[in-house]
Structure 1
């Protein structure tokens, strides 16, 4: 559900930008910033990059929603609630620094106007997600330096949001389809 959450948010911001800025270009992408080999992971420039920073267990928001008092279900562990920390970075060429700041401002304004996502106000949200609440984080200079050092990238204008609260249980595991690789030059079954 982490992927479903982040791709939904990415699409929602893109749709908002397309509507308000009258553009067809995808300005927001879900991506890491740097590949494991140290190369840039982002395709193209002049984008807002949505990157997962951390997954945290939510110990405050424990809920027994759906539980029936006095009834226990054997071999069923309670759902775990998590928070996501997500970085929105402005990956723009140096000649477009002013545009980087504008688009980062657009992201902040978007979450200022819509910081709670439900199925009612976000029909494209996965039905297994009940509600998402966005809170802007304010990491200090030291923490920000640690974030960018850990990512292995140079600083870009950015903002961090905490997304509360996803509930996980084993019902999210439906199927796994591995990607097909290594079929170049083959004809017929191996």
Structure 2
């Protein structure tokens, strides 16, 4: 569910920016910021780059049960519990030189969009076939030290950016790991 979530966030961001600025091309891309050589990737020039930074399990949704199951009429199917993740992402605005101010305006627009749309209903998206069809988006404030560490690890120059936490992204494993037949009778011996 990580890839469909990021793709959906990219798509709704592009739709919003096309409406806001009448762009004739997608401005938000999911990509690495730099090549293996450390050079900035050419495909991200004049783009907003959606970068996956990391993830964590949502502690409030942690299931204490080691299994969940369903009674199929013939028995109990044991399945692994759903894990809900929080994804940390960054919108990196790579508008340079004469387009720098436009990039700042685009960044402000992205912030306004997700401020207004903190809960996103993905009901109409077929990639989200699970019961939890809403994801939340929360602005993350990073200290300067953490921000500099991220830029150092990525290996690119500091540009305008904003970080978000995307919550309640489920990882579902529907594989049956055990099977318990139903109780047929309860006789005392």
Alignment TM-score, normalising by the size of structure 1: 0.78
CA contact (8 A) 1:32 1:42 kept: no
Deviation at 1:60, TM superposition (A): 1.9
Equivalent residue number for residue 133 of structure 1: 136
Q: How does 1:1-190 map to 2 (within 5 A)?
A: 1-62=1-62, 75-120=78-123, 123-124=124-125, 126-128=127-129, 130-171=133-174
SS at match of 1:87: strand
CA contact (8 A) 1:92 1:99 kept: yes
Map Cα deviations across residues 129-174 of structure 1 (whole Å, 9 max, x no partner).
52110000000100111111111111110000000011112249xx
From the superposition, tell whether residues 73 and 90 of structure 1 become closer, same or farther in structure 2 (CA, over 3 Å): farther
Deviation at 1:16, TM superposition (A): 1.2
CA contact (8 A) 2:84 2:171 kept: yes
- What root-mean-square deviation, in Å, do the aligned CA atoms of Structure 1 and Structure 2 show? 2.5
SS at match of 1:38: coil
For 2:155 and 2:47, the matched residues in 1 are separated by: 19
By percentage of residues, which structure has more strand? 2
SS at match of 1:81: strand
SS at match of 2:24: coil
Deviation at 1:6, TM superposition (A): 0.6
Deviation at 1:15, TM superposition (A): 0.8
CA contact (8 A) 1:138 1:160 kept: yes
| Corresponding residue pairs, total | 167
Structure with bigger RCO (C-alpha 8 Å, 6+ apart): 2
Structure 1, unmatched stretches of 5+, are 173-190
For 1:12 and 1:58, the matched residues in 2 are separated by: 24
- Higher-Rg structure is 2
